């Protein structure tokens, strides 16, 4: 005798075990890669300066360029991996690392003093200290 089973349209539409919440990271991964804007960075602010930490793993120090114009900071770099350039020699199973030119610009809320800016590069991270430009405030006497 045949047994009647109540149909579940969602079970047949999603033949994947687990919940939808388990699938979210997998579904968003391609979107996250496409919207990547350049090197990852952290920006903090003190009373007198902005501090940036920019990830540039595998990039030689002399291949990094920083320009500061008013309140816009641009970091650009070029990294190359000889083994990655000879990709035809490998049967890649997964390839997420990218090499080549990268650039990122950030506009800060205030003008910075580019002449007093400091940079340090250590372990693949570029650290920038960008002092805020001091504005001369005139005392108005009435």
Does the pTM of the predicted model rise above 0.75?
no
Report pLDDT digits (tens) over 74-120.
999 987 665 555 556 777 788 777 667 889 999 998 888 888 899 99
Q: Residue 72's beta-bridge partner residues?
A: 69, 107
Rounded to whole angstroms, the Cα distance separating 41 from 127 reads: 10
Rounded to whole angstroms, the Cα distance separating 116 from 113 reads: 6
The whole-number pLDDT of residue 71 equals: 86
Q: Which residue would you say has higher pLDDT here, 107 or 37?
A: 107
| Average pLDDT, integer, range 65-78 | 90
Q: Are 41 and 52 in contact (CB under 8 A)?
A: yes
Q: Are 92 and 64 in contact (CB under 8 A)?
A: no
Q: Give me the half-sphere count of Cα atoms (radius 13 Å) on the Cβ side of residue 65.
A: 9
Residues of the chain with pLDDT > 90: what percent?
34
- Taken in order of first residue, the domains within the chain and their CATH numbers are 37-131 (2.60.40.790)
């Amino acid at each position: 005798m045949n047994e009647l089973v109540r149909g579940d349209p969602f079970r047949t539409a999603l033949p994947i075990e687990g919940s939808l919440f388990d699938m979210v990271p997998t579904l968003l991964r391609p979107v996250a890669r496409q919207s990547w804007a350049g090197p990852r960075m952290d920006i903090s602010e003190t009373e007198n300066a902005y501090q940036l930490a920019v990830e540039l793993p595998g990039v030689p120090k002399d291949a990094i360029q920083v320009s500061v114009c008013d309140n816009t900071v641009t970091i650009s770099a070029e990294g190359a991996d000889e083994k990655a350039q000879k990709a035809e020699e490998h049967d890649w199973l997964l390839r997420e690392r990218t090499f080549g030119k990268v650039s990122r610009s950030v506009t800060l809320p205030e003008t910075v003093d580019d002449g007093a800016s400091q940079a340090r590069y250590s372990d693949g991270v570029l650290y920038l200290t960008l002092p805020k430009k001091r504005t001369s405030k005139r005392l108005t006497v009435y």
